[in-house]
Amino acid sequence: MYRPGRNKWKAECTVCKACTYQKPPIVIKKFFENEFSEIYLWHMHSLMSAFHTHIQDMEKEKNSIMEYMSGVSGEVDDSHGRVLHIHVDGSE
């Protein structure tokens, strides 16, 4: 059965590209054959995007310590909120 999402991730993965002439590692092959691999990658992308946004705010040149601490606590609250939302509600 053709699954365009799965093949797209496989095609874009630099590790898979490096292994095109060799047998790919079993762990990577199993990961991309799993039905939830694309969902997991999108979830990781979402988390990385949130962290990147907060890090950019903290890297501003003229931040005060209060702005820095509010950014750190905001990121911690966002992370805990995501984890609690997933585990308590059972949905994302």
For the stretch 21-67, pLDDT in tens is: 577 788 888 888 888 888 888 888 988 888 888 778 777 767 777 77
Based on the domain organization, do 87 and 50 belong to the same domain?
A: yes
Based on the domain organization, do 92 and 60 belong to the same domain?
A: yes
Instruction: Tell me if residue 34 falls in helix, strand or coil.
Output: coil
Q: What is the pTM of this model?
A: 0.44
Contact 6, 38 (CB under 8 A): yes
Q: Which domain holds residue 50?
A: 42-92
Alpha-carbon gap, residue 85 to 65, rounded angstroms: 30
Backbone angles phi, psi at 64, to 5 degrees: -85, 170
Based on the domain organization, do 29 and 56 belong to the same domain?
A: no
Angle between helices 37-58 and 4-12 in degrees, nearest 10: 50
Backbone angles phi, psi at 90, to 5 degrees: 80, 10
Higher pLDDT, 27 or 87: 27
Split into its structural domains, the chain has a count of 2
Based on the domain organization, do 7 and 31 belong to the same domain?
A: yes
Based on the domain organization, do 47 and 24 belong to the same domain?
A: no
